[in-house]
Amino acid sequence: MQVENVIAFATEEKPAGLEIRINFGVFAGRDATAAELEELGKLLVPEAGEVSIVGEQRHEISEE
């Protein structure tokens, strides 16, 4: 199976040492841009040494 041909797949990840979630939309009223995420990374690296930043949109859906 080639990953690039699959829409969804399970992954195994190492537990994060520290995870911080930021709801950017609450403050800006829009999604964070790629440039803003890059700048955030540059600010965090001196403090954390290594960072991984994920920008996502989350949609929670139910019948209620």
Residue 23: is it exposed, middle or buried by C-beta count within 10 angstroms (0-12/13-18/19+)? exposed
Summarised one tens digit per residue, pLDDT across range 23-53 is 888 888 899 999 999 999 999 999 988 898 9
Output 25 or 2, whichever has higher pLDDT. 25
pLDDT at 40: 93
Residue 22 has pLDDT above 60, yes or no: yes
The overall pTM is greater than 0.75: no
Domain positions in the chain: 15-55
- By the 8 A CB rule, do 41 and 20 touch? no
Residue 1 pLDDT > 70:
no
